[in-house]
Each structure stands twice: as C-alpha cells, then as structure tokens.
Structure 1
C-alpha cells in the first residue's frame, strides 16, 4: 500500500468552483442551454464573494489501508448505499456457476463471503485488515478467513474455482502483479469476478478516500483505472473477459443527466444560495464532498451526469 504520496490540500471552495467548472465545460460542449450557463456563472460569482465563509482548507496526509480500515471497520457495514447498487450487478454473474472453492479476496467484513457460503461454496475470505476480518469472522462462521494481500494470497496454485474481488482494486496502483496473482490461484476454467469504483473527481485518475485513524484524519490513496488497464493486466496471464460493463448513478445506464436546464424548471432550486447555512458538519476534518454537493445542486448534477461510478468484469481462466 502506497503511503509515500505527499499530503494533499483540500479547500471547500476549490471543490465547489470545480463542480461549476465541469458543468460549464459540459454546457460549452452543447449539453445545456444559455440559461444554464448564466446560472452557473452567477454561482461562481456568488461563491467567490462568499469565499471567507469556507475557511482555509486543510492539508491531508496519506495513511495506509490498514490504518484507515481499522477506524472504519466497526461501521463499515452501513448504512452504505453503494452496496445496493453493486451487489445486484455482481452476484448474477456467479449465480449459475458450479459450487466449488471460492476466494473472496479483499473480503472486508464479509458481505459477499456470507452470500457465497449461502450459495454452497467452500469459501475463504482474505483481507489485509485484521479489524475487518474480526468483523467478518463473527458475521460469517461458515467461512474460513486469512490475513493476506492481493499481491500474495495465502492459497496454493490452481486451487480455486472462483475468485471475487470487489471494490478493492482502486487501492492498487499497478494492476499487473495483482492480476498475475489472481490468475495463479485459479484453476483452468475458473472465474474471476471483479467490481471496481470509477472515482469521484471528474478528470483525475486520483480520488483520495478520507478516513480517520488514531484521532486524526488522512487519505487512503485510490486510483481510477482505465478500462484498457484491466485488459492489459488480464490478457497476458490467461484471463479472458466474458463480461464487462460500466454503470452510472444508481447502477442503471439510463440518460438521467442530459435534460436541458431552464430557468423555469430550476427557479430557486439547485443554484448556490449565499444566505444558506454553509457550515461544515465537522470543521476539524477535511471537507466532505457529499455534504457540499447540495450547496451547488444543479452544477453537481450536471458535472456527474452519466459518469460511470462502477465497472464490473467477469474473466475466465483459459
């Protein structure tokens, strides 16, 4: 896990103006009309006029996944809306597979491990976080668990019929060695099912995951991988793709963000309100993007419209 990255500087105003900028670029390309552009420019002016209300920002140091998940483990299971999107997309890929030896790699607290046991598999859950594994062992007594890393799974060669890796490859900078390790443990004809997040910051492959550790906050370095990177890692080690799809929003692909902006439709709704309560819930921690999005609702909706939030793969070991 990389913790050699520098501290990053996060300022609430930078995020808010950034959303407005992405929305304006989409409008410049023809996705929105003149009224939308004028409203976004008005937002930018109002945000800059209110700059002193957003504080000085914060320098956020890197932390390891081990430290970050130690703090997160007791509350990791919810509520988390991402599970409701990801699970219905991943599990159908495995429902028709023969029962056999399954490895839930980077299993976390065992949400998929439990489901695999219910499906009749002999399941080993592996994770690098002892705190996450402690929760999983209590929750899923019907599975075996072991501490391990995606680069070095505690499993013999060609011993698994199914390997599942969900929402974890974003923690890996270079996919090549990990896919080589996943291929090593699979039997010929075995399946590798992967889900991965696609990032939160439009235009950047980096998306720091801010979390607490030992009374202080830091960021877990995360990387958004191009679709081609998965193939470049999988094909040389004999993993052939059988399914791939990127999903936007709530797991659906429908076009929900291309609607024209009109002053009538958005009058008093979605624009920045300098008179609103803009206090961050916890000013001692880095700014929370989920809290800030509603402050510039129209820009946030336009900036993230149709942007994939999840990619799902099904590979077969040749």
Structure 2
C-alpha cells in the first residue's frame, strides 16, 4: 500500500490540478456519495471527525482530530489520515497525510471559487498564519506573484514566521498590526482563524472577494453578521453550511439566496454585494485530492 507523508502529497499535486479535479467532480453526470460528516467529542475539548466518500472508482475515509489546546503544548492542532480504497474491490490503495490533504483541497477549493467567480485585482490580505493561511498563500500565488500581500495574525510570532516562510519562497509579505485600513483596501481577503468573534470590520470594498475558511463550528465567527447579510454568498456545501458555518448561522440569513459552488460552476449568479465564499469542508474534496495524488507520480518515484 502506498503511504504518502505531507511532503510527498505536495509533490504529487498542485492546487490548480486539485481545483480542476473538484470542478470535474462537481460537473460529473453521476455525483459521488457521502454521508454527513460524523463528529465525536474527545477529551480536552477535542473533536474526532470522520468523512467517507466514494464514486465508481475510489473510496476514501478521512479521520481528523482537532485539539485547539495543542497549540499551547507545542503539539499539532490537527492530525489525521486519509485511507484510499479501490471502490469495486475494497482493496486498500494508499494512506495519505490528513492535514496535508485538508490544506491542499481547502485552498484548491478557494482557488476554484476565485477563478469561477472572478479574482479582483489589488492587494491580498490574509488574516491568520496557520497551515490554512500558508496553503491559501501558495494557492493564490501559484503562477501569479505580482500581487501585493499583507498578513495579520493575533499572534505576532506566528505572523513573523508566516512572513519568513513566504520570503523563503520569493514572496514579499507586509505585516499588518491593525487590520482596519488593510480590510478597507484589500481586493481579496482570506480569513483562516479559529476565532469566536469577527476578525474584521464591515468596511470592505463592494467588489471584494472574501474566502472564509476558518470557522467550522456554529459558535465560531470570522465575518461580522452585517457583512454576511449584505454579501453575495457561495458555499461549498449547503447542508454542511447550514449545520456548521458559524459565520452564516449567526447572521440573519436568507438561505434561499445562497448558492453552492456547483451552482456557480453551472452559471448561477449570486446576489450583488461583496463576494463571500464560505467553505466548511466535505469528503468530496478529499476524494478529488486523493485522485490527483494517486494519478500523478513524481519523476523520481
């Protein structure tokens, strides 16, 4: 059975390739199947998430643990694995690093939303400095490095490490201590935090694109309710958003006006206002990323 660590996952898949894989999946005549994501509470306010999905070729099961308290213990906050099976026979084919697959497919999903909905010109502001922030920085600059980049994080040491990481890859990132002005001027904003309260004010440009990927529980909130209520909204999965997207659940939502990414790919037009793409994750995206990893083989393998 093939076993891929985080580095090997990234060697086999670009964000553009996974974005295309997700688009192909969403536009397929026969859709994959997946039950609702399963949650199990663990000690220390931890969570175990189990996400299976299958189509006629492959089946995947991702198990992920999330322990926010680990950040203060110098331990990974998110840990997990993705088991890939041959769907017709049930034969195990691969075991992939879970956090790497999650970061890869989440950022690729945001990239697909930006490509489909339209990526405005202007500065990119990333709020947060963890693994999802890093993945989105890579995805949104893959093949396009001329955009001005800003980063804000509640933890200055994380922000500084994020900036250093970018500089090692030829990206100049400007630190933002007080984000109010940056929020007003940014053209694209990524929110990748675990905040329980809004990380930005409702002062964004009317043509801004917001990629909100951090909150995954009803009690979490990165985007202020007033901004949600005036934005055009696209979600990765409507059922998941109605159950888990704290940003939307804490606003006065008109769910009939919310489109899915599949709707957008099929020509749907969201309501006017700032553009907000909210993703909470789905096993379909893990399936798409796993397919790319198993299809693409590095030259030295």
Query: Which structure has the bigger radius of gyration?
Result: 1
TM over 0.5: no
Normalising to structure 2: TM-score of the pair? 0.41
Normalising to structure 1: TM-score of the pair? 0.39
